[in-house]
Structure 1
Amino acid sequence: MKFLKWTLITFAVLGLLFFFVISPYMKTQTKKNSPEKTVAYEKNGMDLSVTYSSPSKKDRIIFGELVPYDAVWRTGANEPTTFSTTNDIKIAGENLPAGTYSLWTRPSRQSWSIIFNKNIPDWGVSILSGGKETNRVPEEDVVEIEIPTEQTAETIENFTIDFDMQNQLYMLISWDRTLIKVPISK
């Protein structure tokens, strides 16, 4: 009985230590290498924002190696990227109700799946998987669309998400030599 009591106390102390000390320290350290950024678009009756962590290329091969093809990616680093809209919008013609969503992608060579999900986990990947598996809950997907990739003329060092109004509004996702243009409308 004493052994069980001390075992439970030890696990409780370790859990509290991880939750209050180790986890916040890890988040602070990882954001030094992949700073958190927020971009917003507030025009044409839309109020949108994206919060993400921006890793650097650092002479690495990004797509197909660091970010595997045909596997769901947290779309940035650290916590999952979040996408917020204060009103109902359309993503490539698909309805997305007002709210905040986690944004996931499944990169492939010719196109990417862009996934908006109702669940927003604390961290983008499972620690137990060594960072190879995401914490996405597929049953919570709201919108999933396929967007063709474009190649950029120059290498983009830092992972970037931005909004660009051309003949319509696009959310741009770019890194290395890859550009994804996600059409957004009311």
Structure 2
Amino acid sequence: MKKLTVLLLVLCTGLVFSTDAVAQKFSGLDKSPADIAYYPASSKETTKAARVIYSRPQLKGRSLAELAPVGKVWRTGANEATEITFYKDATVGGKTIKAGSYSLFTIPGEDEWTVILNNNLHQWGAYSYDSDADVVRATAKASTDSDELEAFGIAFDDEGNLVMGWGTTRATLPISY
């Protein structure tokens, strides 16, 4: 009987400690959830040329100019700086970009946005942005759309151009692969 009591005590103690050891608290849902855009977008096309990982801030009654000020370097989304990966060499702004991953920043403007590919990855926002690590600066044409986007979005069009949209603003960066 003594052995059975000791065995039960050991087992119960082990269960208590093992349950506490794996307990994990998770934070709530991110208010600017992460998203990914691929080119080509079709899941039937397994050979991808590019991927963008970014977070999607919401307007929530605020203006685009308030959240992505004209003339200032912007992280192009929320949270960590947006990251673009080219799976093969590409041409951006007339310059050949080697396959690899880059941080993607923008400088919004009225008629055009400056798009910046930067070698420094894993940056939080644009707080530590360093222009010395820029690989290329290219021009994206800004336009207006009748559809209003509450959440910032990035997509590739059928030709592989990068399209960024928020509110009624759209900025299109020509890319060739």
TM-score bin, normalised by smaller chain: 0.7 to 0.9
Percent identity of paired positions between Structure 1 and Structure 2? 33
CA–CA distance in structure 1, aligned partners of residues 47 and 56 of structure 2: 28
Unaligned 5+ segments in structure 1 are 1-24, 126-133
Q: Are 2:51 and 1:49 aligned?
A: yes
CA–CA distance in structure 2, aligned partners of residues 161 and 88 of structure 1: 20
Q: Which residue of 2 aligns with 1:162?
A: 155
| Letter of the structure 1 residue corresponding to residue 70 of structure 2 | Y
Q: Which residue of 2 aligns with 1:98?
A: 99
Residues 78-93 of structure 1 aligned to structure 2 (within 5 Å): 78-93=79-94
Q: Are 2:68 and 1:67 aligned?
A: yes
- Counterparts in 2 of 1:156 and 1:121: CA distance versus 1, 3 Å: same
Q: Which residue of 1 aligns with 2:166?
A: 175
Q: Is the 8 A contact 1:91 1:184 kept in 2?
A: yes
CA–CA distance in structure 2, aligned partners of residues 66 and 183 of structure 1: 24
How many equivalent pairs are there? 148
Unaligned 5+ segments in structure 2 are 1-25
Q: Which residue of 1 aligns with 2:9?
A: none
What displacement does 1:121 show? 3.5
Structure 2 SS opposite 1:32: coil
TM-score, length of structure 2 as denominator length: 0.77
Structure 1 SS opposite 2:157: strand
Structure 1 SS opposite 2:161: strand
CA–CA distance in structure 2, aligned partners of residues 46 and 122 of structure 1: 25
Residues 133-144 of structure 1 aligned to structure 2 (within 5 Å): 134-144=127-137
What displacement does 1:183 show? 1.1
CA–CA distance in structure 2, aligned partners of residues 179 and 96 of structure 1: 23
Whichever structure has more helix as a proportion of its residues is 1
TM-score, length of structure 1 as denominator length: 0.73
CA–CA distance in structure 2, aligned partners of residues 61 and 181 of structure 1: 20
CA–CA distance in structure 2, aligned partners of residues 155 and 107 of structure 1: 18
CA–CA distance in structure 1, aligned partners of residues 133 and 62 of structure 2: 33
Q: Which residue of 1 aligns with 2:120?
A: 119
Structure 2 SS opposite 1:108: coil
CA–CA distance in structure 2, aligned partners of residues 154 and 40 of structure 1: 22
CA–CA distance in structure 2, aligned partners of residues 174 and 76 of structure 1: 10
| Letter of the structure 2 residue corresponding to residue 41 of structure 1 | Y
- Counterparts in 2 of 1:32 and 1:103: CA distance versus 1, 3 Å: same
* RMSD, aligned α-carbons: 1.9
Query: Which of 1 and 2 has greater Rg?
Result: 2
Q: Are 2:33 and 1:35 aligned?
A: yes
